[in-house]
Amino acid sequence: MSEQKSRLLRARRRRPAAPSADQSIANPPPALPTPDAAGEFRSHVLELGPDLAGLRLDQALARLLPQYSRARLQGWIEAGAVQVDGLVPRGRDRVLGGEQVRIEARIEADLQVAAESLPVDVLYSDRALFVINKSAGLVVHPGAGNVRHTLQNALLALDPRLSVVPRAGIVHRLDKDTSGLLVVARTPEVQRALVEALAEREIERHYLALCLGVMTAGGTVDEPIGRHRSQRTRMAVRSDGRDAVTHYRVVQRFRAHTLVRAELETGRTHQIRVHLAHIGFPLVGDPVYGGRRRLTAGSSPELTAALNGFRRQALHASRLALTHPQTGKQMHWEAPVPEDFAHLLEALRRDLEGRQ
């Protein structure tokens, strides 16, 4: 036995190993949890190939099991839920190649967010995911000032097993007052796959946005976005921000407004709102980024009333397309604009027709 492997084995013996397979049979573990239980079990048997030699164990496991975060794998190692050649290792132990790994771990439930029975518009569901049509005014997940009545609370009531999935399976967010489509993963493995697909720009997200001003043509905004330097609740175009790309094209022009279809390549906070305001076309109803109500001379009473009554940014996630992480099937969904948005668009069209 090499000196390196001897040191590795001595390090692993510093902590006792978990029960062997024979001991587990003699003392069987508790029954698998029901949907209301505090966690679910995961079992894996792996071999660390020679291509992983020299990596830390936690790094090697992260490559072999990309459906779990590295933090979760490190937690399992520290908890003694991972055995390497029958011994309990440390995360920093180096892989030699050829080791056998057994993982018997529990994914703990997040009990900090309570389930609440709230209405949720589910457009699609299977064992892997939900597609939700979120209503305007619904906060996606708890935060400062919004610890209850969020989509995350509602999802936990819809499927209690989501308590073992980070953020109840939410893959991407929509602002509170933005309506439309978002995808929710129903297992940690599916969530990991969808988050990676999102990062690789493999999930299509199209939005309908009503802007102040009349655009002459569509285009692309490729400007980095970061936190506003003095107003921390706002985002801004900043040279030292994170890359952000928004494509937009004109759907319909009105006398003083433009309806555009925007497609995200990246998913920065407030991205469409910031980018369109940056080029001089802020969203209707968006006081944060300059979209306060503007009435055009000669506006019809109907349009004036519609603009006065529209109390949110005019942004709707209208189309979502992705590759199903389990079946590999290409899937897409569309959601029409909600009633308040549709009413405003109709008032704009009538106002336009009345001037032609």
CA-to-CA distance for 14 and 88, rounded, in angstroms?
8
CA-to-CA distance for 165 and 155, rounded, in angstroms?
11
Closest CA to 104 of 165, 41, 60: 41
- Token representation of residue 168: 């109840």
CA-to-CA distance for 157 and 85, rounded, in angstroms?
41
175 flagged as catalytic: yes
Q: Taking a C-beta distance cutoff of 8 angstroms, is the pair 315, 156 a contact?
A: no
State the residue for tokens 């090697």.
60
Catalytic residue among 175, 222, 240, 243: 175
Distance of CA 84 to the CA centre of its chain: 33
3-state DSSP percent of the chain in helix, strand and coil, to 5: 30, 25, 45
How open is the CA angle 24-26-32, to the nearest 5 degrees?
A: 50
The per-type count for the chain, helices as H runs and strands as E runs, is 9, 14
Q: Taking a C-beta distance cutoff of 8 angstroms, is the pair 211, 196 a contact?
A: no
CA-to-CA distance for 106 and 164, rounded, in angstroms?
9
Those residues whose C-beta lies under 8 Å from the C-beta of residue 56, and which sit 6 or more positions away, are 91, 92, 93, 94, 95
CA-to-CA distance for 108 and 167, rounded, in angstroms?
13
Those residues whose C-beta lies under 8 Å from the C-beta of residue 25, and which sit 6 or more positions away, are none
Q: Taking a C-beta distance cutoff of 8 angstroms, is the pair 276, 221 a contact?
A: yes
Catalytic site residues?
175
